[in-house]
Amino acid sequence: MSRAQDRIDALERAFGPLDDPANPLGGAALLAADAAGEVLPGAERVLDEWGLNAEFVPVSLGGRLERMDVLGRVLRPVFRRDASLGFGYGLNCFFAATPVWTAGSPGQQRLAARTLLEGRRMAVARHEVAHGNDFVSDEFTVRPEGDGLLLDGSKSAIANASRADGLVVFARAAGVDPSLSSSRTVLLLHRPDLPPGTVEDLGRRATTGMRSTEFGGLRITKCPVPHGAVLGAPGDGYELSLRSSLVIRGLIPSIVLAGADTALRTVARFAARRRADGRSSLDVQHVRDVLTGAFLDLLLTDCLALVATRALHLLPGQMSAYAAAAAYLTPKLVSESMDEMSAVLGEETFAEDGMYGMFQKQLRDLPVTSLGHAGSAGRQVSLLPQLPYFARYAWFADPEAPAELFRPHEDLPPLDLSKPTLLGDADPLAATLVASTDLLEEDELPAGSGESGTTLRFLARRLTSELNDLRRAFSEICPTDRQALASPHSFGLADRYTLVIAAAAGLGVWRAQRSAGAAADPFLADAAWPTAALYRLCRRLGLPLPDRPAAAEQRVLREVLSRLHGRRSYDLYDSTLA
């Protein structure tokens, strides 16, 4: 893990201080490039020299990808600064390469690895069924032709369309009912090898967020493609899209919280500044509440990110629910926090440049970075069919998740993308909530926790009761009743479930820190932050609340200000910033 930490620290230093106006890669330069709809060339050179693309290539193919939780962390120094840079330069390449790592032949994997390791880009053109975030409804079609295949069609919104050498294309099989799951085939193409005149770049589309990312179009006309370009087997496209999403969704929290980290730092700096009369916005209780709440949301988000990425290694048969829940809930929590922070900034929220311009940029970028694969509704749809099964067979019956799931610095088994399953057969994270509640009921409270410990016990008990209520509600829904699963009532229940397992993830991380001895982070081992975080979750759920944990919230606020002045990140890792 130390080698990974060294890489992350080196990337952070290479960019330099975000708040230094003289830094050619700082906030002022990034905001100017964003306003012009251009990527900052110097920032791309940093990623070239650092070799970001190697992070997206498995170690077995010559890259540096061996742990998904580490990949999520590597992306944070980039997304804290500019989502356009992080997505357009590299993460979109990983999205494109994931189907290749999941189902590609050895030759296809070598081609994709070579493309990325040589510093070139890949792009993915997904089909309309799996992606509800396309600008318009258009697609590619593929049909047999002679000894091979013929590809036709267009897509008007593909990230890095004109810059990519590697193209992963989800195409509809001509003549096959598009409603069938077997109607999509995935192709891996090397653009320089395609016949001249068969591929045409279409115009770029402007976006409100991530202005510097190129969302362009491609038109492919009667392009001959060999059978060897098919990823997996013909008709595997729908399943391959779903399997790829298991990997991609786990990264969504990391990139969303990275941008929110910068937003919180911007607002905390605004709130802490002293006016001529010696007062500051921190004198107002509401402002203190907003900063405290935003930080707690980021900590819970990172707990979910940790669970979703480490579960790919540790719990491949159960991780699908956690990846979907993390990718669904994180943008929701962060969006609410951003709204609250906007009220603190007031008119400075609309600043396009200067000290507070980065908040407006993060506010614009958030809807684009968080939409991701199939959007929030798609994540709920993939989660919902699993919950009636969990209610009948898993909740209050499963053993709790392994402790390694919550220990970010522990080694992991090798990453094997053939193991994750689309539907989980157990819910050990929910069992962690039950086990944590039982331990707290047995008076396992940390020395000196005082009010926080007592309140934490009450809140854990309330959340466990909520899980029991969900068990009763989902037990009444037939897993095969699509109409019942698609009802607003079921969607609301799924939303409540994601908040419950966010609490479970937070308790799991807190317990792991408490048992870490001298290696523990003093703040994360303190009962204050899970107490304040669970109080916030219970309030969202409308559950009965104890007295407000004022002392715990004050401890969290002190940490917010300490990290602001100490130039440290607002996540579980408390990383030093440039």
- Looking at the DSSP bridge assignments, the partners of residue 217 are 202
Q: CA angle, corner 315, sides to 312 and 319, nearest 5?
A: 65
Mean pLDDT confidence for 133-147: 73
**Phi and psi at residue 145, in whole multiples of 5°?**
-155, 110
Q: How confident is the model at residue 374 (pLDDT cuts 50, 70, 90)?
A: very low
Is pLDDT at 387 greater than 60 in this prediction?
yes
Q: Tell me the C-alpha distance between 101 and 246, whole Å.
A: 13
Task: For 249-269, write each residue's pLDDT tens digit.
Answer: 999 999 999 999 999 999 999
d(CA 124, CA 168): 5
Predicted TM-score (pTM) of the model is 0.93
* Mean pLDDT lowest among 448-452, 477-481, 501-505, 571-575: 448-452
The answer to whether the CB of 214 falls within 8 A of the CB of 279 is no
Measured between alpha carbons, how far is 379 from 577 in angstroms, rounded to an integer?
Answer: 33
User: Please, is 491 exposed, middle or buried when counting C-beta atoms within 10 Å of its C-beta (0-12, 13-18, 19+)?
Assistant: middle
Q: How confident is the model at residue 1 (pLDDT cuts 50, 70, 90)?
A: low
Q: Which two tokens stand for residue 388?
A: 């009636």
Residues 415 and 67 sit within 8 Å (Cβ to Cβ): yes
Distance CA 258, CA 298 (A): 9
Average pLDDT over residues 210-236: 89
What band does 569 get if pLDDT is binned at 50, 70 and 90? very high
Torsion of CA 320, 326, 332, 335, to 10 degrees: -140
Nearest by Cα to 165 from 202, 114, 211? 114
Query: pLDDT tens digits, residue range 47-67?
Result: 999 999 999 999 999 999 999
Helical H segments across 394-521, by residue range: 428-441, 450-475, 482-485, 488-514
Q: Where are the beta strands (DSSP E) in 36-139?
A: 121-125
CB atoms within 10 A of CB 238: 19
Strand partners, 124: 168
Question: Which residue type, as a one-letter code, is found at position 405?
Answer: L
SS3 (DSSP) at 52: helix
Delineate the domains of the chain, giving CATH numbers in brackets.
2-121 (1.10.540.10), 123-233 (2.40.110.10), 242-566 (1.20.140.10)
Tokens linked to 191: 């653009």
Q: Given a cut of 90, is residue 105 above it in pLDDT?
A: yes
- Average pLDDT in the 141-162 region? 89
Instruction: List all residues 6 or more positions away from 388 whose beta carbon is below 8 Å from its beta carbon.
Output: 474, 475, 477, 478, 479, 485
Distance CA 59, CA 55 (A): 9
Residues 6 or more apart from 556 whose CB is under 8 A from it? 292, 295, 296, 528, 529, 532
Residue 249's closest CA among 426, 120, 383, 155? 383
Q: Would you state the pLDDT for residue 135? A: 39
Confidence band (pLDDT; 50, 70, 90) for 446?
Answer: low
Q: What is the pLDDT of residue 386?
A: 95
Q: Measured between alpha carbons, how far is 341 from 258 in angstroms, rounded to an integer?
A: 16
Burial tier of 549 (Cβ tally within 10 Å: 0-12, 13-18, 19+): buried
What mean pLDDT is predicted for residues 330-352? 90
> CB within 8 A of 225, min separation 6: which ones?
142, 148, 149, 150, 151, 187, 189
- pLDDT, residue 449, reads 57
Each residue's pLDDT tens digit, 454-513: 899 999 999 999 999 999 999 999 888 888 888 999 999 999 999 999 999 999 999 999
pLDDT of 134 above 50:
no
**What pLDDT shows up at residue 131?**
40
The answer to whether residue 45 scores a pLDDT higher than 80 is yes
67 backbone dihedrals φ, ψ, rounded to 5°: -140, 130
Do 347 and 336 form a contact (C-beta atoms < 8 A)? Answer: no
Cα–Cα distance, 445 to 463 (Å, whole number): 18
- Cβ–Cβ < 8 Å for 272, 355: no
Among the listed residues 320, 181, 166, the one whose alpha carbon sits nearest the alpha carbon of residue 237: 181
HEC states along 1-14? CHHHHHHHHHHHHH
pLDDT per residue as tens digits for the range 548-568? 999 999 999 999 999 999 999
Q: What secondary structure, in 3-state letters, does 297-348 show?
A: HHHHHHHHHHHHHHHHHHCCCCHHHHHHHHHHHHHHHHHHHHHHHHHHHHHH
pLDDT computed for residue 127 by the predictor: 62
Cα–Cα distance measured from residue 446 to residue 455, given in angstroms and rounded to the nearest whole number? 13
Contact 241, 127 (CB under 8 A): yes
Q: Over 70: is that where the pLDDT of 443 sits? A: no
Sign of CA dihedral 171, 380, 318, 472: negative
Euclidean distance between CA atoms 150 and 300, whole angstroms:
48
Would you say residue 128 has pLDDT above 70?
A: no
Q: What is the mean pLDDT of residues 296-306?
A: 97
> What pLDDT does residue 129 have?
42
How does the average pLDDT of the chain come out, rounded? 90
Q: Which two tokens stand for residue 348?
A: 């400075």
Say if residues 328 and 380 touch (Cβ distance below 8 Å): yes
pLDDT band at 428 (very low <50, low <70, confident <90, very high): very high
Does residue 133 surpass a pLDDT of 70? no
Of 370, 296, 298, residue with least CA distance to 327? 370
